[in-house]
Structure 1
């Protein structure tokens, strides 16, 4: 009997981009996986390969409902909490719903996990928590003031997690994601992330529009690095590793101009005309920070994190996946 087959992981937001990749990975490692999703931003097609897997259980429901959360954590050893309404612009347009999902829903999941004696609660935190801090690289202990409603909600998550650790003894670990990209990331919708959106536009020979002059920089982080961090956070047995937060990134930064250049190069291997597509520039986006770069020293030292994919390596993988999936 596989040692993981007796362990059950709840992945909230499991039909989303990061969540469905986590479902796939942990099913491959023979864990029992429960997916909770309301399919507002997640997609059923992300789960189609797992639905007939005996180790997979789908619960369609909303984290804003405490009873649903209580049901989902029943018999669960670990929670990987990915469910949230992402996007800074969405939170600016609709701060109430963002708060209901990201704060009230998060609190429901903490309460349900506490009451079910879940061993550990690992959650998606965000680099947006660094706010207006101009220090680079970003170190976990130095943050600024949030610049958007979304950033506020993700910071509140960290505060709640810390209180639940101290007050109730629930083991929590927050992973501050930095611009995650990769397979299964949705290129459609008003709040699509920049990489899949640009890929889709370039494949259609449309000009991507960069916000600002293209010199804003980001620590773009491939999905497999994020999966590694979730696994390390879940299984670590070091006392000093829990009840804290970690940057989840590659530890390098590239400008948006760099990013589009790489995309055009890699996509041109499939269609040489893509290399000729012009880039357009628009106004800066409200709530955006100019530069983002993570220090990953804490994760390396305490968790043994070794990110395997740089931006370019990750983009090569992602572009191949998008070419296959979008051409179908």
Structure 2
């Protein structure tokens, strides 16, 4: 598999869940890595282990500030743009801030990268872009209408990237992440992702709250698959593979009920009583789509993407971290 080695790489949102995992891998592969983060959602402990590394640089700054973006891209060859304000519910509660960060900040990064002559920018897109499309599996060139302000922002990013590629000759690739999970994912707060939230509840012998009847399904994707996709997108040379978007997922669906069963079984190895914790079913969440399943054929064909972990393998790989961190 192609990897990023010996490059000067900027990871925006590098103190976040996905960003910090990217930085860890990049440093192991002999890259010089700069992290840009304002710590609004990223955590300092996620990057504390890198601060003494001679090839790591932390730059505190906000992508909503063009000058910060310009400083961050100076002398950089590859940008992995992960910085964003995630969460559908958060965007419903505060659409203005979500718009400012995800669209205004993204535009700043595009302008800064363009002016600095950055060779390749890979950015985090989102499966939320498929909106109300009921087609399964989701194909990159067929989307529905967005169901949340967050989904709108991530789709607008794709439109901006397409225009900048055509107008300024930039090399831009969007990765539509599908429900990513793994180590360093935040279990706390109102906008925590479902897997760490469920794990945290189960460890505390509290009933996890499932929105709806548990039949809603997602294409849960272990973070190692996402790291692979970023590296492949950053290094692909085939011109046909550049200036487009890709689904990054496993290509398989798991219902919320199945997910809880997986977690209970894995956590029971640490504490048998967790297997007896009951589930509580709550109301469906605004802006949620019932089912999500990705076609990964395009990424396989043009990037060489081949997910290393299915959902069960990913949960098994992550469960020790969850237990040690949340118990």
Normalising by structure 1, report the TM-score.
Answer: 0.98
Alpha-carbon distance in 1 for matches of 2:6, 2:309: 31
Determine helix, strand or coil for the equivalent of 2:145: coil
- Residue 135 (structure 1) shift: 0.3
Do the aligned partners of residues 5 and 252 (structure 1) sit closer, same or farther apart at CA in structure 2, a change above 3 Å counting? closer
Q: Match for residue 298 of structure 1?
A: 298
- Residue 319 (structure 1) shift: 1.2
* Equivalent pair of 1:211/1:283 in contact (CA under 8 Å): yes
Q: Match for residue 207 of structure 1?
A: 207
Q: Match for residue 186 of structure 1?
A: 186
Q: Match for residue 21 of structure 1?
A: 21
* Equivalent pair of 1:5/1:32 in contact (CA under 8 Å): no
- Residue 294 (structure 1) shift: 0.1
- Residue 4 (structure 1) shift: 6.5
- Verify: 1:123 aligned to 2:99, yes or no: no
Backbone CA RMSD of aligned residues: 1.0
Determine helix, strand or coil for the equivalent of 1:201: helix
Determine helix, strand or coil for the equivalent of 2:33: strand
Q: Match for residue 166 of structure 2?
A: 166
**What's the CA shift string for 1:187-224, capped at 9, x where partnerless?**
00110000001101100000000000000000000000
Q: What is the count of residue pairs matched by the alignment?
A: 325
* Equivalent pair of 2:219/2:252 in contact (CA under 8 Å): yes
Structure 1: tracts of 5 or more residues without a match: none
- Residue 7 (structure 1) shift: 1.5
- Residue 325 (structure 1) shift: 2.2
Q: Which runs of 4+ in 1 moved over 2 A?
A: 3-6
Do the aligned partners of residues 7 and 207 (structure 1) sit closer, same or farther apart at CA in structure 2, a change above 3 Å counting? same
Q: Match for residue 110 of structure 2?
A: 110
Q: Match for residue 320 of structure 1?
A: 320
Alpha-carbon distance in 2 for matches of 1:251, 1:257: 18
Structure 2: tracts of 5 or more residues without a match: none
Q: Match for residue 243 of structure 1?
A: 243
- Verify: 1:97 aligned to 2:134, yes or no: no
**What's the CA shift string for 1:152-177, capped at 9, x where partnerless?**
00000000000000000110000000
Normalising by structure 2, report the TM-score.
Answer: 0.98
- Residue 326 (structure 1) shift: 2.6
Determine helix, strand or coil for the equivalent of 2:49: coil
Determine helix, strand or coil for the equivalent of 1:71: helix
